[in-house]
């Protein structure tokens, strides 16, 4: 695997300079006071005993990689609106998803628990155990296909405290009765059991919770408009609104205009002869030059802008906390092979940093001296207690057992070092291997269920995870592995079992077929997408469909 790419880390001065020198740490910016300035409500600081209850807008992207934003280092994708959240808020430079795939990560956001604890360890709908077909060394563990009915979800916690709750977009946390409506949301627009945009990103789509209105309408923009309509009706009532985009999940689609813009941009930057290389199991993308994916990212960014602008127009932006993050790494292998996460290794489905590192932004507008960057490692499970704390609401310690409130970091305080855990005892469609991970300090250990062996990386000196130091650090490896396995036992995590029918020779042949056939095909498809006469179909995935 190569170690470098034209894609850098955060374009935020201190962090960017430290990454160039191989370091990930960054000093917290301390501040002296917190000032609130709600425009239509009484001004208070969040440290008051009875603060004005802020609104929450939680924006969750699907499959967006750590470097898929211009503010996080891309020189190809253009995301001025999402960048705005980062620049006006606080960037957690070591932000993680709770899993390398979607449903588990989303369940952790909703429950404040790790995937090993809540049991939704794979994307809902994936086969497990003996039901999974294929020549694998192990049979993937079973997993929960819905949220625990007894869980007090994040929107339920807000609803208990007088908030109106709203959900728009991708749910993928189970079918009836595990629906948004049964998990704390007063209103659900577009959320059902399906995890991808069935029917595509332009109307007519297939979604029983989102009727088609205008031919050719963009899905991301529609979800943003629905969110605005909800916000406009609140009239002073505090609200919790989750805008959960289907973008940028495959199938990747965009308009001809956006494709043309980014095809020309790729040409101006210089189209490389190759854009893929082999990882352990599948080819992986090494270049950000996919003009269709770039257009899809831009469509989502414009939709974010529509919501941000409406908050300003309504005069409530100064009393609205905004969260932006993603549910797993960018798709570099499998699915649409859309983007590159380099210099981080891997992507969606993978056990390396590219599979779990995310944009992780929180804007608390009435805290004027909030740090611009925080390097404390955080996960999606932390958002549950953090948002309750920032809103001045009671915590749910018996529910959010794995998350911690990050509010002290906004006040210049410190949080004790802790261990973070991931549990994915499954085979990813993208080439990831059944594994569990622990991060403690600068060290990250990956335990592989196929071999019962571990890799160890020092992320401060090796963020690209190229140098496995397990053999050189036997004692540390043993300690971290023991802590990880003890934690999994403690929470009752499901585990895989060996597959007696595994054929090693067959697996080797499959790898060679992927290298000799799939890799050249992907390169040809990449070049075709960048050619001047590229046309997916006559209507450009229905973006050209005219109104009746």
Would residue 346 be called left, alpha or beta, if left means φ above 0 and alpha means ψ between -120 and 50 degrees?
Answer: left
State yes or no: pLDDT of 42 exceeds 90: no
Task: Evaluate whether residue 318 is within a structural domain.
Answer: yes
Task: Evaluate whether residue 185 is within a structural domain.
Answer: yes
State yes or no: pLDDT of 527 exceeds 60: yes
Contact 244, 188 (CB under 8 A): no
Task: Evaluate whether residue 424 is within a structural domain.
Answer: no
* Total count of domains within the chain: 1
State yes or no: pLDDT of 281 exceeds 50: yes
**Which pLDDT tens digit goes with each residue over 86-124?**
999 999 999 999 999 999 999 999 999 999 999 999 999
Three-state secondary structure of 227-276: HHHHHHCCCCCCEEEEEECCCCCCCCCCCHHHHHHHHHHHHHHCCCCCCE
**Which pLDDT score, from 0 to 100, does residue 471 have?**
97
Task: Evaluate whether residue 192 is within a structural domain.
Answer: yes
Task: Evaluate whether residue 117 is within a structural domain.
Answer: yes
- CA 257 from chain center: how many Å? 27
Contact 363, 99 (CB under 8 A): no
Domain that holds residue 247: 53-417+502-529
Give the mean pLDDT of 49-61. 82
**Which pLDDT tens digit goes with each residue over 347-405?**
999 999 999 999 999 999 988 889 999 999 999 999 999 999 999 999 999 999 999 99
Q: What does each C-alpha distance from 328 to 43, 65, 190 come to in angstroms?
A: 37, 7, 21
**Which pLDDT score, from 0 to 100, does residue 365 have?**
92
CATH of the domain at 286: 3.40.720.10
| Structure-token pair, residue 174 | 């189970």
End-to-end CA distance of the chain: give it in Å, rounded. Answer: 51
| Structure-token pair, residue 203 | 């109307």
User: DSSP string covering 463-518, please?
Assistant: TT-----TTT-HHHHHHHHHHHHHHHHHHT----EE-TT--HHHHHHHHHHIIIII
Burial tier of 260 (Cβ tally within 10 Å: 0-12, 13-18, 19+): middle
Contact 104, 389 (CB under 8 A): no
Contact 128, 426 (CB under 8 A): yes
44-53, 241-250, 388-397: least confidently modelled range:
44-53
Q: Which helix (H) or strand (E) holds 95?
A: strand 95-96
Nearest to 246 by CA among 192, 294, 208, 204: 192
Confidence tier at 30 by pLDDT (50, 70, 90): very low
Q: Nearest 5°: CA angle at 476, between 470 and 478?
A: 80
Classify residue 202 by its DSSP letter: B
Name the pairing type of β-strands 164-169 and 187-189.
Answer: parallel
Q: Give percent above pLDDT 90 in the chain.
A: 84
Classify residue 106 by its DSSP letter: H
Query: Within 10 Å of residue 509's Cβ, how many Cβ atoms?
Result: 12
Distance (Å, rounded) from C-alpha 63 to C-alpha 248? 6
| Model-wide pTM > 0.75 | yes
Task: Evaluate whether residue 350 is within a structural domain.
Answer: yes
Task: Evaluate whether residue 32 is within a structural domain.
Answer: no
State yes or no: pLDDT of 27 exceeds 70: no
Task: Evaluate whether residue 451 is within a structural domain.
Answer: no
**Which pLDDT score, from 0 to 100, does residue 129 have?**
79
State yes or no: pLDDT of 439 exceeds 50: yes
């Amino acid at each position: 695997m190569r170690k470098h790419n034209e894609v850098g880390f955060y374009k935020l001065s201190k962090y960017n300079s430290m990454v160039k020198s191989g370091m990930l740490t960054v000093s917290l910016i301390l501040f002296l006071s917190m000032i609130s300035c709600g425009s239509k409500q009484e001004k208070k600081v969040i440290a008051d005993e009875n603060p004005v209850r802020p609104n929450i807008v939680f924006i969750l992207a699907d499959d967006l990689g750590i470097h898929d934003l211009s503010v996080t280092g891309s020189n190809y994708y253009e995301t001025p609106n999402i960048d705005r959240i980062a620049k006006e808020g606080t960037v957690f430079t070591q932000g993680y998803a709770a899993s390398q795939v979607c449903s588990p990560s989303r369940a952790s956001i909703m429950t404040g628990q790790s995937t090993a604890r809540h049991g939704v360890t794979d994307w809902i709908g994936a086969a497990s155990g003996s039901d999974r077909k294929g020549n694998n060394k192990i049979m993937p563990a079973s997993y929960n296909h819905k949220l625990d009915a007894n869980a007090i979800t994040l929107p339920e916690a807000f609803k208990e405290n007088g908030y109106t709750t709203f959900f728009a977009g991708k749910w993928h946390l189970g079918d009836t009765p595990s629906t948004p409506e049964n998990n704390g949301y007063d209103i659900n627009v577009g959320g059902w059991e399906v995890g991808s945009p069935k029917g595509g990103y332009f109307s007519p789509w297939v979604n029983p919770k989102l009727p088609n209105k205008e031919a050719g309408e963009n899905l991301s923009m529609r979800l943003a408009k629905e969110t605005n309509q909800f916000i406009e009706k609140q009239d002073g009532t505090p609200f919790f609104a989750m805008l959960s985009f289907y973008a940028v999940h495959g199938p990747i689609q965009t308009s001809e205009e956006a494709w043309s813009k980014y095809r020309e941009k790729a040409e101006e930057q210089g189209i490389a002869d190759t854009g893929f290389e082999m990882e352990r199991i599948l080819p992986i993308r090494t270049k950000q030059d996919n003009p269709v994916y770039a257009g899809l990212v831009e469509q989502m960014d414009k939709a974010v802008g529509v919501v941000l602008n409406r908050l300003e127009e309504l005069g409530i932006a100064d009393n609205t906390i905004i969260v932006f993050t993603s549910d797993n790494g960018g798709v570099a292998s499998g699915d649409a092979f859309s983007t590159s996460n380099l210099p981080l290794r891997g992507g969606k489905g993978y056990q390396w940093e590219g599979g779990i590192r995310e944009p992780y932004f929180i804007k608390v507008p009435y805290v004027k001296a909030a740090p611009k960057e925080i390097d404390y490692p955080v996960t999606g499970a932390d958002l549950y207690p953090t948002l309750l704390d920032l809103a001045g609401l009671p915590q749910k310690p018996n529910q959010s057992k794995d998350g911690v409130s990050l509010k002290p970091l906004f006040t210049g305080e410190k949080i004790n070092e802790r261990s973070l855990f991931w549990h994915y005892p499954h085979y990813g469609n993208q080439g990831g291997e059944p594994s569990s991970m622990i991060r403690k300090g600068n060290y990250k250990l990956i335990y592989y269920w196929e071999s019962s062996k571990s890799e160890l990386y020092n992320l401060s000196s090796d963020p690209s995870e190229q140098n496995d130091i397990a053999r050189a650090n036997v004692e540390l490896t043993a300690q971290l592995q023991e802590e990880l396995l003890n934690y999994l036992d403690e929470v009752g995590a499901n585990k895989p079992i060996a597959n007696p029918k595994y054929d090693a020779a067959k697996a080797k042949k499959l790898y060679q077929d992927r290298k000799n056939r799939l890799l050249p095909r992907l390169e040809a498809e990449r070049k075709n997408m960048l050619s001047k006469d590229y046309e997916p179909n006559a209507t450009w995935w229905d973006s050209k469909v005219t109104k009746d």
